[in-house]
Amino acid sequence: MLALACAAELISIKQLADQLLLKHHSAVQLVDRLSAAGLVKRVVSERDARVALVKLTTKGESEFEALAELHLAEMLKQEPLLTSALQLLRKKGNKM
């Protein structure tokens, strides 16, 4: 959903597959599942009717925002561990 949320407005299934490092058919299956859940909407390209474009629905945007908040909260809980890990990496990097 992040790839869809970061897209300006519409993204082709090919672009989505490329961003997610998926085969085209896997991206189609993913879009099918997201569409069935009401999270994305398919739109036919005005330039080329063979191209399916995808965009988040209002429900998809809401779900993405909720997931982003949960992700941020989890990252903040892990901040002490992340900070110590980064400090350790810096120390090792300075010794090289």
Residues 15, 28 contacting (CB under 8 angstroms)? no
The residue range of the domain holding 81 is 2-95
Q: Where do the DSSP E strands lie in 29-93?
A: 40-44, 52-56
pTM of the full structure: 0.72
Q: Per residue in 5-18, pLDDT tens?
A: 665 579 999 999 99
Q: Per residue in 22-74, pLDDT tens?
A: 999 999 999 999 999 999 999 998 999 999 999 999 999 999 999 999 999 99
Residues 52, 35 contacting (CB under 8 angstroms)? no
Cα–Cα distance for residue pair 39/5, rounded to 1 Å: 11
What's the CATH code of the domain at 26?
Answer: 1.10.10.10
Looking at the structure of the chain, the number of domains it has is 1
